[in-house]
Structure 1
Amino acid sequence: MRKYQYLLFSLLSIAFLASCGKSYKEQQRLSREQQIEAARQDSAALKIATVPTMDCLPLFIAAEDSLFQKAGVDVRLKRFGSQTDGDTLLRSKRAEGIVTDLVKAERLRRQGIALNFVTSTGASWQFISNRIARVTELKQLSDKMVAIAPYSATQMLADLTIDSARPKETVYRIEINDVNIRLKMILNNEIDAALLPEPQASQARLFQNTVLMDSRDKNLHLGVIAFRQKVMENKDRRQQVKKFLQVYDATVDSINKHGVKHYGKIICKYMGVDMRTVNALPKMTYHHATAPRQRDVARGARFTP
């Protein structure tokens, strides 16, 4: 009897294992199909590289509130701490667009990546000194270290500002691509000064660090959203960009109506700051998608190494 019970148990076990095997194979097949479909959808989506700064706010709002989806366009934001990471994504054709500045964009152009500037942005930067360094004037930057992102608007603004001040000794440009690392270096007294955009500049000011220069006073509008030219030559992609810009304009209207602080939670989520920093932000006005001024494009091109 035991012999038959053992045989029955063995047969049932084999059947169970066989069914499990089929189930596992089926799961593997479905997993592969899902991966292929996910890759297809990602390839078809409009992918844009962003950084945690206020010039990206319209994009972050539209993504958070599903406004792109409601408009019938699949826009996927690729979030990075530095523009350099976005450059890499664009070069490898894993993104169609990028939020950047005209110095960075012109450098990409010179490297053979044709770009179409669909709109300028309100990006601005402040030259902020560490309060511990006791630098209250630009001429006091002699023998100091300044954090910048190389080949960018921050390098251009740093060079223009330092050259105009003519400090007696060398000012050392330290290459720090990640905007939040530049901020932390100021807050942790690891650097004498840094070029910071918003909201990082507001957070630095909250800790009594000194503003030496504000790019908004220079009549320079260097922020830009760009797409690869090949994208704009494709009919379906052009339609995606058109819908993207429609959503962008509608989101800009909402920001201007309610103010940036109305979107404090989104700013905190996407830019890594707190509400105290949000409340310290200056008044900001956003504009509809408008091509950058030719004079700003020319300035970026003249500076680009």
Structure 2
Amino acid sequence: MTHAKDFLTNPWVIAIRLHTLPAIIAPIFLGTCIAFHDGILHPTAVVVIVACALLIQIGTNLANDYYDALNSVDTPDRTGFVRATASGLIPPTHMKRAWIFVFSIAVLLGFYLLYLGGLPILLIGLLSIAAGILYTGGPYPFGYHGLGDLFVFIFFGIIAVTGTYYIQAVATLSYFPLWFPPGTITTMSLIASISMASLTTSILVVNNIRDMETDEKAGKITLSIYLGKFWSKMEYLFLILLAFAPPIYFYIFLNFPKTVLLPLLVSPYAISLVYLVLSDPTPPSFNKILKHTTFLTLFFSILFGFGIFNPF
């Protein structure tokens, strides 16, 4: 128990934000299950995709920690999780070197995916890393200007699911693609990605509602600040409801068996989280809701994935 506590309180573990990592594993798992269903599973590619995605997520977290401190966004009165740079646990120069190093390792591993997926993977990879840095860095950090929700919806949902499927689909071809070949981005993967896009974005919504007061004071204008607390809660409700639409669509319109409705098993869990958000909890309580929304995303992905390739 002591060793576990020491590990979790290590400054670098704090900076990595382990609780955020399931949000990137979930869409990759779902995209892989769709590939398995279509008979194009590429195990080696999946391992490298997971490694690259985790590195990009960790690099993004480290860069955000660095730039939030640099921009004086992480103030002492915030109620979120500890930030390593702002709290003085890690010097800014060390943090900058760390996120550059992590992104560099992701690039090196990404050459294998580039070999499989061609120029589209180069585009996706560069955009993902650039977005991770520019989320809180650069002259116009889009996370500070109400664009964070769109960023998460696209990169953690649409691109994560369809990109995972694309690499495995294109690996079956015998040439180096310069663009997306026909059949490598399917309607099924696009529709399924909406579930992951909605749930991963809902995680950010919880984070933004929690930090509304301190973010506004620090000049970080998130979408929640534009919308206000009531409509931000409605956004959370809408995203949770939207996540359940693809499994129902698969069952009704794509003639999948009833197993594709397995995600409905977590609907009571989802309802309880919506109730908590709507009940106007205190900012510290949002930390628990954030963690549970992350778990919901992972559980939903596992059930939806199993429901698609139907191993039962």
Length-normalised TM-score, structure 2: 0.24
Larger Cα-atom Rg: 1
Length-normalised TM-score, structure 1: 0.25
